[in-house]
Amino acid sequence: MAKILITALGSGTYNKEKKEKEYKPATYYVEEGNPLEKTEFIASAIDEKWEMDKIIFIGTTGSMWSNIYKFYCKNKSITMNDEYYDKLKNTELTANKDTPVEKLEIEKFNNTFGGKIKGIVIKYGVNDIENLENFHSIIEIEKEIEDGDEIFIDITHSFRSMSFWLFLIMTYLKDVSNKNIDIKNITYGMFEAQNEKKETPIVSLNLFVDILKWFKGASELKNYGNSYSILDELEKNLMNKEIKNEIEIFSDTMNINYIDSIEESLKNFNTIKDKLNNLEGPGKYIIPQVFKNFINTFELPNKEKLSNEEKKYLLRAKLAKWHFDQKRYSMAAININEAVVDFIMDALNFPNIDTEIKTDKTRLAKIWLEQIKEVEDKEIKKYGIMYVETRSIRNKIAHSLDNKRDLKEDIKNLKEYSNNIFNLLLSKDLVKEKDSKLGLSEKLKREYEEEEEKKKENEKKGDFNLFVISDKGLDSEEIVTIKNKFKIAEQPIYLSKKEKEKWKSACEKNDKESLEHFKEIINDKTKEGDYILIIGDFEYKNELEEYSNSKNLKVIKVVFKRSFEVL
């Protein structure tokens, strides 16, 4: 672990008698009453205080390289090359913005000190091209640093833009570089604050770094719902534990998308408003604003008049918009899809199906949405289109199905849906009116009641079949396992040879035409109460399983090898 000082080298003041540039000597101190040795260079004072292993100077062709060269040759008992010293002095005395950096031959300077003292020469930075070249040169500092090193940065000398460069170095090393380093101190020799003894304080600017960390944490929390950086700062500053816990819970629930927990967190934000005003330090100005932003973003109009169901799907609509704005497209698709289903369940008063599986509980709303997509009335069909499209996006994400042709179109659709869904979910009366004219929900409810009666009759009869959709059969051990666990006939029903080939092809093509074809096969080969096992990497496999559920089939899933459970 090395201690490395990165500092700027300015042009100093020209001494006519010595015919060279120099800094005015100063006596620096870190703790008043403990002055350091008088020196021209603050780098020397910092070295005396913290014992640096390496010092890196950054300057232009006009910086006083000759003086620093002479100083460290003497300091480290190295014989000075007079010819090179004169060349450095002559170059810096005549340098201007057009002087090539190569003229300094900085490699000779660096080789003199065996890597302990290093110079980096940059241009004056009068335009973007020069500044970009400077950036490339300065970023090379990363090569001088190893994991575990402690970095000290001093911004006392050089022209004003150098302070920005040094802060950029700090940010790069801390947030971008793969090196695990510690920014130990940022210092400034404040000549204008000398004490009565004319001693100059070395002021720590570490608070600036802490404030930047707060900004970074606030940005992550505001834009992505991630609290992990800001929690570190809360921990360091011993902030109110209740505030810390609420932020942590909110962040976790946002990332895992637990709607009830998100709703609870937003309620709790309101209850701790007063405690936010008692915060101290940078958090006092950052945390309350972040909380306020979240409360405003997810605030529901006329909330007191909304039912619990309405609050949940409207909150999902708000979440969808927020996730889309943060480019979290999968979360946007999930929330849009869930919100529109829950909305239709509520608006049309569909019954919850008696099952432990949530996706099956809302089966009637999903069938309604699939069918409404095919009607001509654009005002109502948009709900079905939104549901089917976001379901398709969910399935692609869940199965890591990469289709570059669909990518831009999917994002375009998600943008439209996330912008419009909240207002669409406020149009309950419109949906009721349109559905009443079509008679679709009443038809589905009636069919469901009839299916339930048939199911009860079939359950009394027992002896259900197992239909297997796969390009292969089950082995004898698997059949025995299923027979022992579920009430089925002696032998499973398989696809025909031709149908197996079509299934294999469907898993390769992942096309909707195959989806419709296998829905027809399911209709032909099963009756209510039968079991179905679908094996294969088919994009629309989930939709086939949902369709099977809608037909009152019991969908079996392979949990582990030769281990099966009903969905």
What separation in angstroms does the CA of 427 have from each of 237, 315, 366, 432, 506? 48, 15, 18, 9, 39
- The answer to whether residues 533 and 556 touch, using CB atoms and an 8 Å cutoff, is yes
Contacts of 401 (CB under 8 A, 6+ apart): 395, 510, 539
| CA atoms of 542 and 557, how far apart (whole Å) | 11
Task: Tell me if residue 339 falls in helix, strand or coil.
Answer: helix
DSSP state of 464: B
Q: Residue length, the chain?
A: 567
Contacts of 322 (CB under 8 A, 6+ apart): 297, 298
pLDDT (0 to 100) of residue 237 = 64
Edge-to-edge strands, sheet with 493-494: 493-494, 466-469, 531-534, 554-560, 563-566
Provide the CA 187 distance to its chain's centre, in angstroms. Answer: 33
- The answer to whether residues 215 and 286 touch, using CB atoms and an 8 Å cutoff, is yes
Using alpha carbons, select from 207, 253, 258, 210 the residue that is nearest to residue 230: 210
- The answer to whether residues 269 and 246 touch, using CB atoms and an 8 Å cutoff, is yes
Using alpha carbons, select from 250, 233, 221, 249 the residue that is nearest to residue 284: 233
Cβ atoms < 10 Å from Cβ of 548: 24
Q: What is the pLDDT of residues 131-190, one digit of tens each?
A: 999 999 988 898 899 999 999 999 998 777 788 888 888 888 888 888 888 889 999 999
407-411: list long-range contacts, CB under 8 Å, 24+ apart: 410/329, 411/329
| CA atoms of 160 and 167, how far apart (whole Å) | 12
Measured over the CA atoms of residue 245, residue 249, residue 255 and residue 256, the dihedral's sign is positive
Task: Tell me if residue 150 falls in helix, strand or coil.
Answer: strand
| CA atoms of 338 and 355, how far apart (whole Å) | 18
pTM of the model: 0.65
Task: Tell me if residue 164 falls in helix, strand or coil.
Answer: helix
| CA atoms of 110 and 116, how far apart (whole Å) | 8
Neighbouring C-alpha atoms within 13 Å toward the C-beta of 186: 17
Extended beta strands in 193-293, E state: 199-204
pLDDT (0 to 100) of residue 356 = 47
Extended beta strands in 163-302, E state: 182-189, 199-204
Give me 23's structure tokens. 């800094």
What residues of the chain score a pLDDT lower than 50? 356-357
- The answer to whether residues 8 and 162 touch, using CB atoms and an 8 Å cutoff, is yes
- The answer to whether residues 474 and 534 touch, using CB atoms and an 8 Å cutoff, is no
| CA atoms of 229 and 219, how far apart (whole Å) | 10
| CA atoms of 242 and 481, how far apart (whole Å) | 51
- The answer to whether residues 491 and 428 touch, using CB atoms and an 8 Å cutoff, is no
Radius of gyration of the chain (CA): 35
Q: Which helix (H) or strand (E) holds 180?
A: none
